[in-house]
């Protein structure tokens, strides 16, 4: 039986995929002639651009230097993909600008169509890109680094991102992870972080999870009340 290896991309990618899937369905349901619905869609799209740009920067600065030591050609290839990803984000931002500037019903419908097209390109590219990272890049990392070495990557990520932005990533990870992974994650926080960090993360979980799942999480970390 093949030994399972640590996937340094796994949890964050599940969170980012949850954000993409939620945004895709929201856009399909959006009536772009309704200004309130437009604002909800725009807010989500800006969240997508912000978090994906930040994630790419994190990979460039923390993952790719490790990979560059063993596969520099592969790093160059994936850096090109990040450039393309940024371009797709800019195209999406241009479509958002078009919608925000739209005045008439016809202009709003046209801008909404452009947003859906731009987002679909962004979604398709990033789903493929993340799959490649979890196969091609992981294969190289596993061949040259131990799981203990790879486990330092998420720790470094958390240390380099501002708390408010970490919470935004954490929210979508809670939306995207299965219950067991959430419980394992929170038990690790309980064992290794100060109590106030666990308290903050439980408040985040309360905002992200259905009540039933949140109660299961509380039970799993043996926590009753956090003020």
Percent of the chain with pLDDT over 70: 96
Residues 83-126 have pLDDT tens digits of: 999 999 999 999 999 999 999 999 999 999 999 999 999 999 99
Predicted pLDDT at 1: 42
pLDDT band at 192 (very low <50, low <70, confident <90, very high): confident
Chain mean position to CA 186: 18
> E strand or H helix at 122, and its extent?
helix 105-132
Of 2, 149, 5, the C-alpha closest to 67 is 149
Residue 99: Cβ-neighbour burial (10 angstroms; 0-12, 13-18, 19+): buried
Predicted pLDDT at 3: 63
* DSSP secondary structure, 49-61, as one string: HHHHHHHHHHIII
Residues 43-79 have pLDDT tens digits of: 999 999 999 999 999 999 999 999 999 999 999 999 9
User: Could you give all domains of the chain from N- to C-terminal order, each with its CATH number?
Assistant: 10-161 (1.20.120.520), 178-227 (no CATH)
Q: What's the mean per-residue pLDDT of the chain?
A: 94
Of 216, 206, 128, 154, the C-alpha closest to 179 is 216
Q: Is the pTM of this model over 0.75?
A: yes
């Amino acid at each position: 039986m093949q030994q399972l290896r640590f996937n340094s991309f796994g949890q964050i990618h599940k969170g980012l995929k949850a954000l993409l899937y939620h945004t895709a369905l929201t856009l399909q349901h959006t009536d772009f002639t309704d200004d309130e619905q437009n604002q909800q869609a725009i807010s989500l799209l800006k969240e997508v651009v912000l978090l994906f740009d930040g994630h790419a920067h994190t990979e460039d600065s923390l993952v790719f230097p490790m990979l560059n030591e063993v596969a520099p050609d592969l790093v160059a290839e994936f850096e090109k993909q990040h450039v393309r990803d940024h371009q797709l984000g800019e195209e999406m931002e241009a479509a958002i600008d078009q919608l925000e500037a739209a005045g008439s019903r016809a202009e709003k419908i046209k801008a909404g169509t452009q947003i859906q097209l731009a987002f679909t390109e962004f979604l398709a590219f990033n789903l493929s890109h993340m799959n490649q990272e979890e196969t091609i890049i992981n294969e190289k990392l596993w061949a040259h680094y131990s799981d203990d070495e790879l486990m330092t990557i998420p720790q470094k990520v958390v240390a380099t991102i501002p708390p408010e932005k970490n919470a935004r990533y954490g929210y979508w990870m809670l939306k995207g992870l299965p219950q067991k992974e959430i419980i394992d994650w929170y038990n690790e926080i309980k064992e290794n972080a100060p109590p106030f960090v666990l308290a903050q993360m439980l408040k985040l979980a309360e905002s992200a999870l259905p009540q039933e799942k949140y109660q299961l999480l509380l039970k799993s970390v043996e926590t009753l009340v956090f003020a």
